[in-house]
Structure 1
Amino acid sequence: MPHDCSLPTMSAGVYPFDARGIAKRFRHAAIFGALDALEPGETMRFCNDHDPIPLLRQLAEFFGPRLQMAYVRREPGEIVIDFLVVG
């Protein structure tokens, strides 16, 4: 069953971010801003239609060990990644 990012997240401290509805020219700025707004221990559940490998490298460089990334779903046309702010 496909993941539906439009559904409310049940876990406290997990916030959905559906990049598919954001204009391409604003996506990276919106993602960086959303992650920067998270407190330690909070997670952004990121949904996209493609695997954002260049973005993941940029995030790793910018946030370093403060940000942990884990794929929740990694299938063609459906990518879900949890970004956890650790400190």
Structure 2
Amino acid sequence: MPRFFFHIRDVRLGLSRDELGLDCPDVEAAYLEACRAGLDLRHEFVARGQSPQDFSIVIANAAHEFVSELPFTVVFGHRMAKNNAHP
């Protein structure tokens, strides 16, 4: 089964690399896993008072090649990004 890595991109600080990765049957399954992981991180944004608009999940394959990018605003919906936006 192919391995995918789910890096977190912060527009200000760059990429936080996932060193372990996760086995998924295909790219679609990896994308759905990124959606689930993103939803699990929602409370982190709320607790820190951060807007998700500055963050995304970058999905890479086992060769560390870019596969897809999932902005947290897509995971949470644009309403949360607007409600938590920095002044």
Q: Higher helix share goes to which structure?
A: 2
TM-score, length of structure 2 as denominator length:
0.34
TM-score, length of structure 1 as denominator length:
0.34
